[in-house]
Amino acid sequence: MTSIIKKVSFSVLLVLLPLFASAQDIEKGSTLNTGDTAWVLIATALVMLMTPAGLALFYGGLSHSKNTLNTVGMSYVSFCVASVAWVVVGYSLAFSEGNAFIGSLNNLFLGNVGIEEIAADTSIPKLLFVVFQGTFAAIAVAIVSGSVVERVKFSFWLVFSFLWVLLVYSPITHWVWGGGFLSNSGELDFAGGTVIHINAGVAGLVLALLLGKRKDFGKATEMPISLTLTVVGSALLWFGWFGFNAGSALSANGTAANALLVTNVAASIGGLSWIAIEAFNKKKPSLLGVASGAVSGLVGITPACGYVNVGGALMIGLISGIIGYYGVVKLKHLLNYDDTLDAFGIHGLVGIWGSIATGIFANPSINTGSIGALYGNMQQIGVQLLAVLMVIAYSAIATTVVYFVSSFVTKGARVDETMEATGLDEAYHGERGFNIQ
């Protein structure tokens, strides 16, 4: 009888052993979860929609009629170039094991990334993580284009965007998310406040200053070609941002749900705060204002979405709309710089606020690993501010270097005066954005 019991017990143990192993694998992030994988697949598609559709329409509608197609094309081609740069070497520089500042070339051309491999600390395929992060790189460089459209060579942009992803975006990504020195500093950036928005906003301002102003800057009376396109573009950005922020949880869980909720709240109050200021100052709230305010709210909540509750989101979105308005309408004219479509005002300035605000409103009841100043950790503001300053400094210097290298390769960064006056759609591409007689 004892012998039978031992045999049965041994048989049961053999049956249960895979379950114990599976539980251990899940803990280590080495077992695929189909629900998490399905969600991140959808989130990746949503983020992809943001660049060649959402941002392209948002920027394209704001451009002048003679440059609309070129402006849309800048966002579109940014996605193409960044996607290639990312899989060739960008991902390796950002996420492979390296030193405190940059990853190694161990994953060059995605080498050593197996099709069945699970991304570290997740339950999704590593290849899915690669493409999800690649969509972030694409929108980051596309944001930069908004500062310089209507005067920059398309050939220059192709070279610049490729090098910028590798030499500016990837190192900063490694610092914050890839095991670099900011990864262990305590800095909170859930979905890309420092990595994407501050980085891209500062790069856009630097590029605009290096290129110089448009010849008709401050003189042109031509209105944007289509505010309808801009509003539709902002709606697509808003829609895609759910994948951007909630997808950054890399799991179908409560954190993702909270991120989606607070993203929507911040965008909504951001749009309302912008038009409230417009109504007070100009007596006419505009649809461009509500669209720009919503995008400002989305930018502001991006680093905080995995750490704050609805109350924090309301405050972040409210102030994001205010900062966005004064950055675009007041500061730009006060300092007289030509940031064509206000990438610095909306992404740079609001991104700085969002990162610092994360240090204020991070709520341990939302994420146990994050405690902001309102909950007793005043030091978090200092941690956030230090990361902001380091990203600003590196982005400005490295973007300058990439500008001069790219300009050397393409024999100049700026189109000639005749082409600029004619418009880049016809003079550069031989096409029209709108074939209207």
CATH for 33-425 is 1.10.3430.10
Q: What is the distance between the alpha carbons of residues 421 and 417, in angstroms, rounded to a whole number?
A: 6
Q: pLDDT tens digit string along 38-66? A: 999 999 999 999 999 999 999 999 999 99
What pLDDT does residue 369 have?
A: 85
Q: What is the distance between the alpha carbons of residues 253 and 131, in angstroms, rounded to a whole number?
A: 21
Q: pLDDT tens digit string along 350-390? A: 999 999 999 999 999 999 989 999 999 999 999 999 999 99
Q: pLDDT tens digit string along 253-286? A: 999 999 999 999 999 999 999 999 999 998 999 9
Q: pLDDT tens digit string along 3-29? A: 544 444 444 333 333 333 333 333 335
Cα-trace Rg, the chain = 23
Cα dist. 361→118, 262, 349, 405, 418 in Å? 33, 12, 18, 41, 51
Mean pLDDT of the chain: 92
Q: Looking at the predicted structure, is the pLDDT value of residue 148 above 60?
A: yes
Cβ distance 93 to 162 under 8 Å?
A: no
If you count them, how many residues does the chain have?
A: 437
Q: What is the distance between the alpha carbons of residues 332 and 339, in angstroms, rounded to a whole number?
A: 8
Phi, psi (5° rounding) for residue 103? -80, 175
What pLDDT does residue 19 have?
A: 34
